[in-house]
Structure 1
């Protein structure tokens, strides 16, 4: 692990006066999705001065799906991003020289889910056979569906898969045009609630609770940039962890930071979405014991074996090719409070 002898924030504290604007390093950050509840900790880290304490000026851009940030970071358009690590694994297998890797796990328990309607007979994985499943082709949850299906002995030929767009996914389920959809547990569920679907009619089948060993979304970094700017990346990750801790302690402040960037959002709904992501995906028992950002090597290897059940690796699958803890901070910021 890269050990920074003194964080930028600590060094700044020894100087007289605040950090001058010209001393801040610009760090564009590419999200995977829209400005919704789970993005709030990053905005709170901006508003609370956590990035600035590390000498960073962070600008956050929305994304269009779990795959969206990978090419942005790989090409160097963004130094850091947020993406599904399983999609990153396949990308790097197909593009082994691409300068991008995961540097901090965020969703220790992936949010990949199948969301269905109880009134349409969807409550368990087996219920999907003979039904219509709406799935956006770029969706991270859909990408993992074959492994989920195999783990649950589902006959893929018995499931009618209808490609849908992200904007039409939940409306089609709400209107009964499909029986279930793939999506993230905290996104699709609350989108259905917003559309007026009764909550007791919504079933959430979290893939991680039904045989999926995979991890979820991680902070990714351009490796050329990280090698040239290790303290910048480490400082960024420290501020991210502190932002999640701050959001856990004061979710209202986190949502306030989010609404400032997306005034059209429903504050209460996005607060629920944030809390769902914390409870189900981020603050897992493993993370609370070991700290945020790292991985369990045995579990990661099991996940690679699961990916290989439905994907033919072109090269040797090795965790070191897809994830490094070299830039994780050692200042205690990874322990969620």
Structure 2
């Protein structure tokens, strides 16, 4: 759905009203998903005073998928959010001029994955042909599946895709109703473990290990808000980086911040989910050498070329529309 001129104007009015009321230190933040392990660093940034140290009061709202925060931020309902940058690229192509861009990369290596079961015949990408794949339509991993299929010479017509809901995705695989699903590696894997699927029966095909050059989820900002409040955005990103540094240094220490907001969560399982995201998606060779938050221009160009193989851009793709390092320190945030 295209973002209308009226919505864009509403976004600008929302930002202007916020500024006029002197409430720019209140920064609502839209997450991509539920309050699970990888959300702990953001709550730690609140509880450990990192947002407050930057003069910010932050309230975090859960999301319903990695595309969810984009329209929330674009319409001005939230000044900051967390979303899949590849979905943002398509959104901005379909909604040119929408006031939203990525300002800090978090998942340098995206968690997009196909998760199957050895006992159901899934051990490598080619095994998906002739099988049923469960995929939630709003899922960020499903959005990238055509690129994964193209990079691995899969015949999409030979794969039966069954639209499923997020709550039923892993149970359907656990019950053998589908042979594989799309999802975030750390989420779907541990959800299957929790459902009693033996770990040695789970196949995780991380798309980044099978040809994808794409980046993953990033902090996104409403550009009207960012241009009017550059210090607030820079301070927000610094606090996020500090929250992740706390989590990397001691994952167990940040779990109480998560459990306080989600008392029903299994602390041990969510800590493991956080650790998986740190090891596979956040602390990479690139972020170790170059700091957290930045991107490599050549890799982004390659990612856009991959997207072009499965998506017809309405306009001319321009990386500068999708990501800016203007609110990051030079060299990003060191993780040590």
SS in 1 for 2:102: strand
| Greater than 6 Å deviation, 4+ residue runs | none
CA offsets 1:125-158 (integer angstroms, 9 cap, x no match): 0010011100000000000000000000000011
Distance across 2 between alignment mates of 1:55 and 1:263 = 28
Residue 296 of structure 1 and its aligned partner are, at CA, apart by 0.4
1:186 alignment partner in structure 2:
186
- Tell me, yes or no, if the aligned pair for 2:294 and 2:332 is still in contact at 8 Å: no
Coordinate RMSD, CA, aligned: 1.2
- Tell me, yes or no, if the aligned pair for 1:238 and 1:333 is still in contact at 8 Å: no
Distance across 1 between alignment mates of 2:296 and 2:75 = 29
SS in 2 for 1:59: strand
1:15 alignment partner in structure 2:
none
Distance across 1 between alignment mates of 2:132 and 2:179 = 5
SS in 1 for 2:87: helix
| 1:297 pairs with 2:297 | yes
Distance across 2 between alignment mates of 1:79 and 1:253 = 29
Residue 256 of structure 1 and its aligned partner are, at CA, apart by 1.1
SS in 2 for 1:28: strand
Aligned residue pairs: how many? 315
SS in 2 for 1:246: helix
1:205 alignment partner in structure 2:
205
| 1:334 pairs with 2:336 | no
Give me the TM-score of the superposition, normalised by structure 1: 0.92
Distance across 2 between alignment mates of 1:147 and 1:203 = 19
Residue 329 of structure 1 and its aligned partner are, at CA, apart by 3.0
Distance across 1 between alignment mates of 2:257 and 2:196 = 26
SS in 2 for 1:116: strand
Residue 336 of structure 1 and its aligned partner are, at CA, apart by 0.5
SS in 2 for 1:313: coil
Distance across 2 between alignment mates of 1:92 and 1:126 = 33
Segments of structure 1 that go 5 or more residues without pairing to the other structure are 1-21
1:81 alignment partner in structure 2:
81
Segments of structure 2 that go 5 or more residues without pairing to the other structure are 1-21
SS in 2 for 1:193: helix
CA offsets 1:88-135 (integer angstroms, 9 cap, x no match): 000000001100000000000000000001100001000100111000
CA offsets 1:133-189 (integer angstroms, 9 cap, x no match): 000000000000000000000000110100000000000000000000000000000
CA offsets 1:43-77 (integer angstroms, 9 cap, x no match): 00111000000000110000000110000000000
Distance across 1 between alignment mates of 2:116 and 2:268 = 23
| 1:261 pairs with 2:228 | no
Distance across 2 between alignment mates of 1:23 and 1:249 = 33
| 1:90 pairs with 2:102 | no
Residue 250 of structure 1 and its aligned partner are, at CA, apart by 1.4
Distance across 2 between alignment mates of 1:177 and 1:49 = 46
Please identify, of 22-31 and 57-66, the stretch whose mean Cα deviation from structure 2 is larger: 22-31
Distance across 2 between alignment mates of 1:143 and 1:186 = 17
| 1:130 pairs with 2:130 | yes
Distance across 2 between alignment mates of 1:200 and 1:43 = 33
